[in-house]
Amino acid sequence: MEIHRYEKIWTAVALLLIVGLIATVTYGALGPGVKMVDDSGGTIDADSLGDTEFADPGVTKVGEDQYEVHVVARQFLFQPGTTSPIRVPANSEVTFYITSPDVVHGFEIAGTNVNTMAIPGQVAEVTVRFDEPAEYGIVCHEYCGAGHHTMAGQLVVVPEDEYDTEGS
Ligand SMILES: [Cu+2]
């Protein structure tokens, strides 16, 4: 059977398009370092956060330029974050641990790739680097009740030399 030259060309073009599409999707998923939030944060008893490291949530220095931040997302505020901003120094690697004692909330630091759900009984773990001083808004992006639209907070990345661990 003879295949027409144009038929061959168009088949080749179609195959190239398919391979190109798969390649761009694969790159988009893996190339820019996108990391899904997994279950590495573990589980927790949502009814007794007082007995856990979430009893006194906030910023803890755990190493040279390394910080941990425990955040409780509850109706309708982030502790810390809403009544007082979360403060971390620039040039640091920060791991957030987020959980909820009541309903499902969201935790997104706008302008960064930190974006997760806060689920009762689960601890979400997200690590991010802050190289420059900046101010970020934190929003709850899961509808969590009548005050959902007011549920927001703030993260302040302060210059390294202005950071005092007391003020966190
Ligand atoms: Cu919420």
Question: Residue 99 C-alpha to ligand 1 middle, in angstroms?
Answer: 11
Is 14 in a helix, a strand, or coil? helix
Question: Residue 163 C-alpha to ligand 1 middle, in angstroms?
Answer: 29
- What pLDDT digit, counting tens, does each position of 133-149 carry? 999 999 999 999 999 99
Contact assessment for residue 65 and residue 135, using Cβ atoms and an 8 Å cutoff: no
Contact assessment for residue 59 and residue 92, using Cβ atoms and an 8 Å cutoff: no
How far, in Å, are 13, 35, 61, 64, 119 from residue 113 at the CA level?
Answer: 36, 9, 22, 23, 19
Region 19-32 average pLDDT = 90
Question: Residue 158 C-alpha to ligand 1 middle, in angstroms?
Answer: 26
pTM over the 0.85 mark? no
Q: Which of the residue ranges 5-19, 45-59, 74-88, 94-108 would you say has the lowest mean pLDDT?
A: 45-59
Residues lining ion ligand 1 (Cβ < 5 A) are 105, 140, 144, 151
Name the amino acid, one letter, at 21: L
Question: Residue 157 C-alpha to ligand 1 middle, in angstroms?
Answer: 23
Question: Residue 81 C-alpha to ligand 1 middle, in angstroms?
Answer: 13
At residue 165 the predicted structure's pLDDT band, cuts being 50, 70 and 90, is low
CA–CA separation, 126 vs 55, rounded Å? 19
Name the amino acid, one letter, at 120: P
On the question of pLDDT at 166 being above 60, the answer is no
Rounded CA Rg of the chain: 22
In the block, residue with structure tokens 């027409």: 4
